[in-house]
Amino acid sequence: MSANIVLSGSLKFIGLGELLQLLGGNASTGTLTLTRENCDHPGRIFIIDGNPINSEIGNIKGLDALNRLFGWVDADYEFSNESVSCEQVIKKSRMEIILDALRMVDDGEIQIVGETPDNPEAAAVDDADSSYLPVIKGPLIDYIYVVDEEEFSAGKEIVYQEKYGNWFWVILEGKVEVIRLLPEGTAPITRLADGAFIGSIGSFMRKGSLQRSATVVAVTDVQLGVMDYDLLFREYSELSAIWQSLLASLDNRLRQVTTNCAKVILNEYFAQPSIDSLNLWQCPEDEDSIYMIKSGEAVIVRGIENGYIELCALEKNDMLGYIPFLNTSHEPHSAAVYVSQDFEYIPIELTGIRKEYKRMSQTFKNLIKHTTISVSVTTGRLFDVIKAGRFGPQS
Amino acid sequence: MAILNLKNNEIQCKIVYYGPGRSGKTTNLEFIHKHFTKQVAGKMISIDTHGDRTLFFDFLPMGLGKIKGCDVKAQLYTVPGQVQYRATRELVLKGVDGIVFVADSLKVRREKNMMSLKDLHENLKKMSIDIRRIPLVLQYNKRDLEKQGFPLMPLEKMEHELNRQLKVPSLSASALTGAGVGKTLSQIMKLTLKYLQKEFHWAQDNSS
């Protein structure tokens, strides 16, 4: 630890906006370093006389890096009082930086990493459940979308895998467990709690005829709100073809990741994906686009100690890339993409995607976010099982 | 909670203009920034938020005296009314020392005023601030629109609906022309300084 560290703590307690104001009011000079668990690169903000002049996260520099740091809501910080010699690339005033970055957080332009439980409006993942399963919670519920209420006592099945149905529920109170059944056994995947949804956005694509991809069982006594399917379907049908494809692709991703997670849990998945015949694909540098597969296939993999593990395989019309406000914790930062020889893609600008997203109802946004968070959490669970060596069917 | 900056020998306090979207919060601050040039320190920061803007600048209230020998510097803010701007609203309201609630006198905005005041009450409560204790001034804005034939709420009715329980100073204004803008600012500054003087006095009493 540097001897110059004069201030340290957690951004969970004091936000970056307030911290920069504090250092600003004090006309401090030095380096503010932010660190997050499991994050390779710390974030650094270089401050002269209370004003940020430069910032970096790995290769990302300047205002872009500084703005991103406003999404690190659970980071630890240290301020070293020292002379700063780097180049001044940030010219905006302190308050302008803070207010604009927070506006971007509110508009979903800056990705929040590490949601905190005291942020009730955002979906959160609570790892402190008494089981080892991660628990997905959701934001506050808009009761306009709730047409009825249902109660299930602890232990009762709410949804059966393979059965057909398109109902959506939102959990008003209680906890449920999502279980994937494979011929080899039963794999508990995640738990869902207040504000989370039961049901898949895939049901919009095949209205009324979609097989449930998992079984859902009440862990405690639960109270569910039956969602107004017609209202949601109407909103879905008014979406652009791009957004409809994006939702189909997200649903496809979730289904595949869940299956692969279940295989790992049941000790069925050791085989490495055969990527020998595939080429590593680098997302183009242009960060304002995502990519629709025009031909060929793409396999999303993540490295493990002695090889790779496949998260999902995508094909024509599926989407690749990074959407800042809908993070799946896959490519490009946390997973690699391998593509077949005949792989071709069409870039799609994020501006239009974002604009349309902003126009959606909060409930529809919550439903989409629930899907991306489920992808991210299920992927995390898969690697937790690998890391902990917790293989084999659960009793 | 004002910040005492011993380096500069000044007390920094925060005044927030709150109210429903398009009630005239930004017009108030724009007028102050343009016409009170001697007391404005630095440029005005304006952040575009949907249907509203967030403004900020430093203001040096002159002739209102010092607190414990320190100069007083005020930071003036507007806060975006829309629900989605949670992070911005939290930062702006954190440590607020005085609030101007800008109500829209247009009859059609009656409910918006009441919702926004309720919203302010709840947001302050989350920060353990009692709306009945914090320096607060109500401004009934857009009174000039009456001459142009727009149906306005009578002042007595606004007073009854918004200020019956709060019983705080209220003023009518036309931020677009500037009428009442200065008076509102001076009223909230006086209340805030009085409040801070009391707070600092209390702090001194308790530390001795």
Based on the domain organization, do A164 and A255 belong to the same domain? yes
| Closest-CA distance of chain B to residue A108, Å | 10
For A359, which residue in chain B has the nearest alpha carbon? B50
Task: Give the tens place of pLDDT for each residue, A350-387.
Answer: 889 999 998 999 889 989 999 998 998 899 888 878 87
Does residue A37 or residue A41 have the better pLDDT? A41
Residue A101 falls inside a structural domain:
yes
Tell me the three-class secondary structure of A107-119, residue by residue. CCCCCCECCCCCC
Query: Is A380 within a domain?
Result: yes
pLDDT at B181 over 60: yes
Residue A279 has pLDDT above 90, yes or no: no
Higher pLDDT, A331 or A158: A158
- Distance from the Cα of A12 to chain B's closest Cα (Å) equals 13
Residue A172 and residue A80 share a domain? no
Neighbours of A282 (CB within 10 A): 10
Q: Do the domain assignments include residue A119?
A: no
Q: Are B7 and A26 in contact (CB under 8 A)?
A: yes
| Distant-in-sequence contacts of B54-57, Cβ < 8 A, 24+ apart | B54/A99, B54/A103, B54/B78, B54/B79, B54/B80, B54/B85, B54/B88, B54/B92, B55/B25, B55/B26, B55/B29, B55/B30, B56/A95, B56/A99, B57/B29, B57/B33
Give residue B2's pLDDT. 75
Question: Which of A94, A102, A104 to mutate to probe the B interface, most B CBs <10 Å?
Answer: A102
Mean pLDDT lowest among A285-294, B32-41, B112-121? A285-294
Supply the pLDDT for residue A143.
Answer: 78
Q: Write out chain B residues lying below 8 Å of A103, CB-based.
A: 47-49, 54, 80, 85, 88
A112, part of any domain: no
CATH number, domain containing residue A324: 2.60.120.10
β-bridge partners, A293: A345
CB–CB contact B7 A26 (8 Å): yes
Which amino acid, one-letter code, is at A240? S
Q: Do B47 and A103 touch (CB under 8 A)?
A: yes
Asked, for residue A113, whether it belongs to a domain, the answer is no
Are residues A101 and A165 part of one domain? no
Count of beta carbons in the 10 Å neighbourhood of residue A178: 24
Minimal CA–CA distance to A164: which of A193, A127, A199? A199
Cα distances from B182 to residues A137, B61, B173, in angstroms, run 48, 11, 9
Q: Does A140 touch chain B (CB under 8 A)?
A: no
Q: Is A99 close to B45, i.e. CB distance below 8 A? A: yes
pLDDT at A165: 79
Residues A68 and A203 in one domain: no
Contact A25 B3 (CB under 8 A): yes
pLDDT value of residue A255: 93
The most confident of A343-347, A391-395, B194-198, by mean pLDDT: A343-347
The pLDDT of residue A138 is above 70: yes
pLDDT at residue A4, as a whole number: 85
Task: Indicate if A382 and A279 belong to the same structural domain.
Answer: yes
Average pLDDT on B21-41 reads 91
Residue A394 located in a structural domain: no
Q: Do A339 and A276 lie in a common domain?
A: yes
Query: What is the rounded CA–CA span in Å between residue A377 and residue A329?
Result: 9
**Mutate which: B46, B54, B88, vs A, most A CBs within 10 A:** B88
pLDDT band of A211, cuts 50, 70, 90: confident
**pLDDT given for residue B8 in this prediction:** 74
Q: Identify which of B3, B43, B88 has the shortest CB distance to residue A102.
A: B88
A227 three-class SS: strand
In a domain, A27, yes or no: yes
**Average pLDDT of the residues in A303-310:** 77
Per-residue pLDDT, A207: 61
Partner-chain residue, chosen from B3, B42, B84, that has the shortest CB–CB distance to A106 = B84
- State how far residue A15 is from chain B, nearest Cα, in angstroms: 9
Residues A262 and A160 grouped into a single domain: yes
Contacts of B160 (CB under 8 A, 6+ apart): none
pTM beyond cutoff 0.80: no
Chain B, nearest residue to A18 by Cα:
B91
Rounded distance, CA A314 to CA A252, Å? 8
Domain for residue A111, yes or no? no
Same domain for A133 and A86? no
Q: Say whether both A228 and A369 belong to one domain.
A: yes
Domain that holds residue A36: 5-106
How would residue A274 be classed by pLDDT, with cut points 50, 70 and 90?
A: low
Whether residue A96 lies within 8 A of chain B, CB to CB, comes out as: yes
Per mean pLDDT, which range of A382-386, B87-91, B155-159 is the poorest?
A: A382-386
Q: Of B3, B45, B96, which to mutate for an interface test with A (greatest number of A Cβ within 10 Å)? A: B45
Residue of B nearest to A121 (CA): B86
Indicate if A233 and A371 belong to the same structural domain: yes
Q: What's the CA gap between A141 and B140, in Å, rounded?
A: 34
A281 pLDDT exceeds 60? Answer: yes
How many angstroms separate the Cα of A211 from the Cα of each of A166, A206, A214, B106? 8, 10, 9, 54
Name all domains of chain B by residue range, CATH numbers in brackets. Answer: 3-175 (3.40.50.300)
The closest alpha carbon to B78, from B17, B139, B159, B141, belongs to B17
Structure tokens at A57: 């996260």
A237 plus A382 within the same structural domain: yes
Residue B94 DSSP SS3: coil
pLDDT of residue A270: 57
Tell whether the model's pLDDT for residue A119 goes beyond 60.
Answer: no
pLDDT mean across residues, chain A: 84
Could you tell me the two tokens for A341? Answer: 């020889």
Could B91 and A99 be called an inter-chain contact, meaning their C-beta atoms sit closer than 8 Å? yes
Say whether both A303 and A170 belong to one domain. yes
Closest alpha carbon within chain B to A94:
B45
Cβ atoms of residues A197 and A136 within 8 Å: no
State how far the Cα of B92 lies from the Cα of A162, in Å rounded to an integer.
Answer: 50
Q: Are the Cβ atoms of A96 and B87 closer than 8 angstroms?
A: no
CA distance B155 to chain A (A): 35
Cβ atoms of B49 and B25 within 8 Å: the answer is no
For chain A, the domain total comes to 2
